[in-house]
């Protein structure tokens, strides 16, 4: 029987593998990460050769905001149905957020990408 610590480590390893697969979908994906319901980073990978858009402190704040948004949307699930995904479009990046259980897959994509829905579909097939 596995200890909680072993289960936790296995989960993190699987999330990291998922992030690696997500980065392989397209060169336009800048970052793939997994955060928990409190906005804490469980794992994350930046596309090699790219500079992060956010400082570590700004990233913490961003993930906290996204986790709150996703959590608060649950209260509307009875009216609208379950939340499938969220796409946030910014000048310098588009963000795809997909909730799975108690974690959120956070993927940033270059804003010039025309196939954001296609990338979203492929990310969902991985997670």
Q: 4-56 pLDDT, tens per residue?
A: 899 999 999 999 999 999 999 999 999 999 999 899 999 999 999 999 999 99
d(CA 74, CA 62): 19
Higher pLDDT, 70 or 105: 105
What does the mean pLDDT of the chain come to?
93
- Interatomic CA distance for residues 12 and 34, integer angstroms: 9
Domain count, the chain: 1
What is the rounded distance in angstroms from the CA atom of residue 44 to the CA atom of residue 84?
21
69-98 pLDDT per residue, tens:
988 887 787 788 888 899 999 999 999 999
Q: What is the pLDDT of residue 80?
A: 87
Q: Is 77 exposed, middle or buried (0-12, 13-18, 19+ CB in 10 A)?
A: exposed
Whether residue 32 contacts residue 23, with contact meaning beta carbons closer than 8 Å, is answered with: yes
| pTM across the whole model | 0.92
Find the domain containing 23 and state its range.
Answer: 4-126
Give me the pLDDT at residue 73, please.
Answer: 84
CATH code of the domain covering residue 43: 3.30.450.30
């Amino acid at each position: 029987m596995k200890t909680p610590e072993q289960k936790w480590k296995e989960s993190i390893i699987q999330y990291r593998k998922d992030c690696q697969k997500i980065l392989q979908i397209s060169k336009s994906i800048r970052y793939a990460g997994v955060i928990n319901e409190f906005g804490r980073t469980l794992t994350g990978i930046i596309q090699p050769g790219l500079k992060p858009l956010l400082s570590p402190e700004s990233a913490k704040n961003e993930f906290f905001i996204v986790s709150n948004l996703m959590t608060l949307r649950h209260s509307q699930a009875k009216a609208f149905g379950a939340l499938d995904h969220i796409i946030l479009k910014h000048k310098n990046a588009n963000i795809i957020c997909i909730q799975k259980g108690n974690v959120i897959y956070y993927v940033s994509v270059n804003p010039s990408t025309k196939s954001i829905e296609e990338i979203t579909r492929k990310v969902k097939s991985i997670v």
